[in-house]
Amino acid sequence: MRIGKRANLILSAGMMLLSVIGMIPVFLVIMVSFSSEGSIARDGYRFLPAVFSTEAYRYLFENLGGILRSFGVTLFVTVTGSLLSLFLIATMGFAISRKEFKLGKIYAVLIILPMFFSGGLAASYAVNTQLLGLKNTIFALILPSACSSWYILIMRTYFRESIPEEVLEAAQIDGASFFAIFGRFVIPMSKPILVTIGLFEAFAYWNTWYDALLYIDSGHSSLYPLQYLLYIMQSKAEFASSSQNVTGVIEKIPTESFRMALVVLIIAPILVTYPFFHKFFVKGLTSGIGK
């Protein structure tokens, strides 16, 4: 079914309008981060700052060395964790998608079970710290979240529905091994779903801070990811602001604009990198529709 020019124009205008509406909160956050604390207290959040101020960013970058170090930790965790997750998810998804793999159904059940029944926080903490010895190591920020049951099932469905069986059978007849088929044929034909899941995993690693709270002690602050460091900075700023009358501090710490500056720092890399993967992202989400 083809869409007429008028309908296409209306749909395009509607999508553009929704895009603009979706960017309004982002624009508001950026503007508030450049507002003075006094103007926020007096006038509330405004799209145009009543009093322009960079105090929040000056306060934020007073710890520039720590921020850069934590940014490096987060970047390493995001890249390494995403690649490791893709490797584990893709290999497991492809294995259980093959009909000739006799234990596929059993493994599928074992993968689904943790989605409904979890061992709990105490059990996972004991396994990661006492059994695996991950406490106060960079691996504590990577391995606990390295594999997702949900993404394995999505990958299995993609391999079954979107990879032509004839291609795999022809490669098998030509004598290609299992790993050769996976590396030379399956992976190149799975770029959309790999990019989609990779983006979701990268966003998860980029935004995580809870693993650092559990497994990284204060004596190992060099391993703090960016999100956890910013969380600590915000907590200190709010505490200092609330206790300023007791401590005798005259200058008010910009807690509201500082909070928005933290949000800008967190979402800026995502806004910059997302457009480059948008095409693969949409194709991966819509793969298999209509089959």
Q: Where are the domains of the chain?
A: 54-285
Tokens representing 114 are 């943790």
Instruction: Please choose, from the candidates 88, 205, 68, 234, the residue with its C-alpha nearest in 3D space to the C-alpha of residue 151.
Output: 88
Mean pLDDT of 53-60: 84
CB 161 within 8 A of CB 291: yes
Structure confidence at residue 77 (pLDDT): 94
> Mean pLDDT, the chain, as a whole number?
83
CB 32 within 8 A of CB 40: yes
Specify the 3-state DSSP secondary structure of 35.
strand
Structure confidence at residue 57 (pLDDT): 87
Structure confidence at residue 250 (pLDDT): 42
Contacts 24+ apart (CB under 8 A), 39-46: 40/256, 40/257, 41/256
Instruction: Please choose, from the candidates 115, 141, 117, 118, the residue with its C-alpha nearest in 3D space to the C-alpha of residue 128.
Output: 141
pTM over 0.85: no
Homologous superfamily (CATH) of 54-285 is MetI-like (1.10.3720.10)
- Could you tell me the pLDDT band of residue 287, with boundaries at 50, 70 and 90? low
Lowest-confidence region among 122-126, 179-183, 202-206, 281-285: 281-285
Structure confidence at residue 285 (pLDDT): 55
CB 267 within 8 A of CB 250: no
Specify the 3-state DSSP secondary structure of 52.
strand
Residue 164: is its pLDDT beyond 50? Answer: yes
Tokens representing 268 are 């800026």
Please list the residues that pair with 41 across neighbouring strands: none
Structure confidence at residue 291 (pLDDT): 46
